[in-house]
Structure 1
Amino acid sequence: MEYPVTRLRRLRSSEPMRSLVRETHLEPGAFIYPLFICPGEGVRNEISSMPGVCNLSIDEALKEAEEAASLGIGGLLLFGLPESKDEEGSGAWAEDGIVQSALREFKKSAALKNLLLIADVCLCEYTSHGHCGIVKKQGEAYEIENDSSVRLIARTALSLAQAGADIVAPSDMMDGRVAAIRDELDEEGLEQVPVLSYASKFSSAFYGPFREAADSAPQFGDRRSYQMDGANLREAMREIELDLAEGADMLLMKPAMAYLDVIRAARERFDVPIGAYQVSGEYSMFQAAFAKGWLEPQRTMMESLVSIRRAGAGFIVTYFAKDAAKVLG
């Protein structure tokens, strides 16, 4: 039927009507809130490029975690800032590492029993050179070694799982790291811990503010030899297929808004849980526009999250998690 019999505006006439026929929904339980854990006590240092986001000591991070739990948020994604760094990133797998210590403290809190604790698995925050693996230098040239890096990444995942992580999430983009992590966990009796793989993590300009937050900027070169070329959709599907074959249980697409087509393609092709990371640059550019009065904060925030959900992400890692949960609550 055509106009005037068919009038699509009939179903937009009021908020109750729009709510009734709405196709895409958000809920706090589908949000994952990132936290940056740092040494000390009583520390709450705002990150200059990410208004409202702080580096937090464990005691302050616990307060944030408890608030997130009270809002019904689904989980936390934990990153660590160690007291010291070295060439191998040994703080990543240390038994008393910053994230391991935070996990143990969080597990003591009854208020967090329904909050999933997801540990990012990478070396970049812990290495003195800022790369996600072991660096082999020959004169002025350098290479990020794959297999030696994978061994340390698997060791890190095991350490985090033993400390209480509900999910381990490798973000390094080394070949074969999912299989190595799965083997390491299974051999140690942790076969029930899922692997959330950043299966198609693209080399992106939108990570800039995160590198300030996590103090993880490379000291030389870049990460293009291991993170994906943003022009390659088909290669992203190959990366996902390989990670699933190696034992990944879930996928995390990163970044989100510049790669909605990748999220959609993955959702249509793979029958596994898929999330997306609304990364620091996305958050920061919105905050800059909010500060200038160019965009209305609440509407912009919610519209951006709906777009990611509509593309096919079942859950969203976002720095807006608490604010969005309050809107939905």
Structure 2
Amino acid sequence: MDWDDLRIFLGVARGGSLAEAGKGLRLDPATLSRRIARLEAQAGAVLFLKSPRGYALTEAGHRLLPHAEGMEARARAGVAALAGDDSLRGRVRIGAPDGVANHVLPAVLTRIRASNPDLGLDLVALPRVFDLGRREADLAITVSAPKAGRLRVRRLCDYHLSLAAHRDYLAKSAIVKSRADLKDHAIVGYIPDMIFDADLDYLGEVGAVAPGLASNSAAVQLGLIRAGGGIGVVHDFMLAGAPDLIRVLPGDVRLTRAFHLSRHSDAGGPLITRAADLLAEGVRAEVARLEAAATES
């Protein structure tokens, strides 16, 4: 296939519509439509589902996508080599649970981009599992290691969680001397039927009752706890930025989990590989830094 045709394909796949793709490619929608039709004829397959809402990749389009991205990455690497520049160019989408997305990744991604100004980074923060097979993200951070699908998975690092509450809540509430005392306290946690990963079922592990205040978002749970809503399980890397919170039963309750980084086995090329390495290195360093800061505070 001609690279120029694949460039058109990538523009439409990423833009989701002819009008949006045309802004970056500097081509009008009619021209793009003809080029896509020609590419589909050459490929002998329909690559996009067309609707009034835009263009969505078909299964055939999803199969072509990593190969087109690989060609794009190789072309950019060649240009960079000629220029003596090894910084990353392109765009990478990262999916992550909202806790790590809000409290760890901002610093990590900012540092990565500072060293790679031609690299675009999209951070999708959602409390659910990302479908890498359908290219919802190029890289996904998860708690449990995915077991289904054609994925490459690496363990990033361990992280820790503690019971915590606002100092004002604890000042006016019964003293917590043991896990059994938690039954007499307001509890903040996940909405039970919206826990998307078994490793996030913290309350059962610490022996707490069902939450009175609940959210599917770790960041919202932190907000509820900081507002005095009760006792909840908080990531230690979040505690570094919440000096108003006090650990509860610190000698008894400290949970350990791990972050994993996944990519689809077909999502290759030097761009994704190097971005994954930088992301892994950055997450490990930032979690360690924040947990150390929380311990000192």
Give the number of the structure whose alpha-carbon radius of gyration is greater.
Answer: 2
**Structure 1 or 2: larger strand share?**
2
Q: Same fold (TM over 0.5)?
A: no
TM range (shorter): under 0.3
Normalising by structure 1, we get a TM-score of 0.25
Greater relative contact order (Cα < 8 A, sep 6+): 2
